[in-house]
Copies of this chain bind each other. A is one copy, B any other.
Amino acid sequence: MILVNGVETDYIKADDRGLLYGDGIFETIAIKDSKPRLLEMHFERLKESATKLSIQGFDIDNLTKDIDLIVSKSGYCDAVVRITITRGVGERGYASLSLEANVVVSISPFPEYIYEKRNSGIDAIFATIFLNKDSYLSGIKHLNRLTQVLVANEAANKGVDEALVLSEEGCVIEGSKSNVFFVFDDIVKTPKIEDYGVAGIMRRRIFDVAKDAGYRVIEANITLDDLLDVKEVFVTNSVIGIWPVATLNGREFSQFSCAEKFLKLLAEDMA
């Protein structure tokens, strides 16, 4: 089910700049017991991203109404809502000043396998593709996601659940759809998100509750050499919540205890 500017439809204008140039931003939100989770944090990031890209003409109150409407109309209890905000429709060409945004809100049922993999853990690899630096757009959850598509397709082709990507300098950055954490006893390290990657909402929640879980979480430059004595690995995003990594490039991890503690502490933030 899809709402475009508050109206139920399956279609958007074929000359929308979101399609023509990937000129827009998005958020993916978990719905649990018919309630959106971490909504304020998603809205904050959406507003920050819109400001950085000068996308204007959407309203957070209307967005809240759209989400309530689509959740209640769908009848789903647990679900995934995606908000896509494009810069709108303009003249031909890249330049795009003073347009009115278009707002697409869609819902799909929450996939069962996501719950399962929170228990079983996932198979992950390091992608052969690396990430180029992104000085202007890193951190923003924008619609230019071709690199993530390539990385996700590499994982799918190799029959694993997620692929982690390294920077050109050889530092681990993130998964195709997730942030990643490496557990060394009571220290948890996660890659710095500066010139690369997406600053995930669930990643921030891990920092928020780290102390209660008995861990110190730090941002670091992490190379493959730094991972020799890692005890546990997990990945996060707003929809999957937390997935322990059971295998990484074939190396087996049997310890999920840190991921399990965070899963308990953050249960209310997930579907």
9 closest residue pairs by CB, A with B: A22-B22, A94-B152, A144-B144, A21-B145, A11-B11, A95-B152, A95-B156, A12-B14, A19-B19
- The reply to whether the CB of A104 lies closer than 8 angstroms to some CB of chain B is yes
Q: Which residues of B contact A22 (CB under 8 A)?
A: 21-22, 143-146
A28: min CB distance to chain B, Å = 9
Chain A's interface: helix, strand, loop or mixed, by majority?
mixed
Partner-contacting stretch, out of A2-10, A60-68, A255-263: A2-10
Residue of B11, B20, B94, B147 near A14 (CB, 8 A) is: B11
Closest B-chain residue to A153, C-beta based?
B95
The answer to whether B14 touches A9, judged by C-beta atoms less than 8 angstroms apart, is yes
Taken together as a complex, chains A and B put the C-alpha atoms of A82 and B21 apart, in Å, by 12
Q: Which residues of B contact A96 (CB under 8 A)?
A: 149, 152-153
Q: Can you give 11 A-B contacts (C-beta < 8 A)?
A: A4-B14, A17-B149, A19-B143, A23-B145, A87-B149, A92-B111, A94-B177, A95-B176, A135-B168, A136-B147, A137-B146
Interface residues on A, range: 35 or more
Partner-contacting stretch, out of A39-47, A126-134, A203-211, A219-227: A126-134
The answer to whether A145 touches B144, judged by C-beta atoms less than 8 angstroms apart, is yes
A interface residues (Cβ-Cβ under 8 A, vs B) = 2, 4, 9-23, 26, 53-54, 80, 82, 84, 86-87, 92-97, 104, 106, 108, 111, 129-130, 132-137, 142-153, 155-157, 168, 176-177
The answer to whether B155 touches A95, judged by C-beta atoms less than 8 angstroms apart, is yes
Taken together as a complex, chains A and B put the C-alpha atoms of A146 and B134 apart, in Å, by 11
Closest B-chain residue to A24, C-beta based?
B19
Closest B-chain residue to A25, C-beta based?
B146
Q: Which residues of B contact A177 (CB under 8 A)?
A: 93-94
Known: A80-B92, A168-B135. A146 touches B21 (CB 8 A): yes
Q: Which residues of B contact A111 (CB under 8 A)?
A: 92
A38: min CB distance to chain B, Å = 18
Q: Which residues of B contact A2 (CB under 8 A)?
A: 14-15
Q: Which residues of B contact A12 (CB under 8 A)?
A: 11-12, 14, 19
The answer to whether A151 touches B19, judged by C-beta atoms less than 8 angstroms apart, is no
Q: For A15, A135, A168, which residue has the most chain B Cβ atoms within 10 angstroms?
A: A15
The answer to whether A143 touches B15, judged by C-beta atoms less than 8 angstroms apart, is no
A13: min CB distance to chain B, Å = 6
Closest B-chain residue to A18, C-beta based?
B19
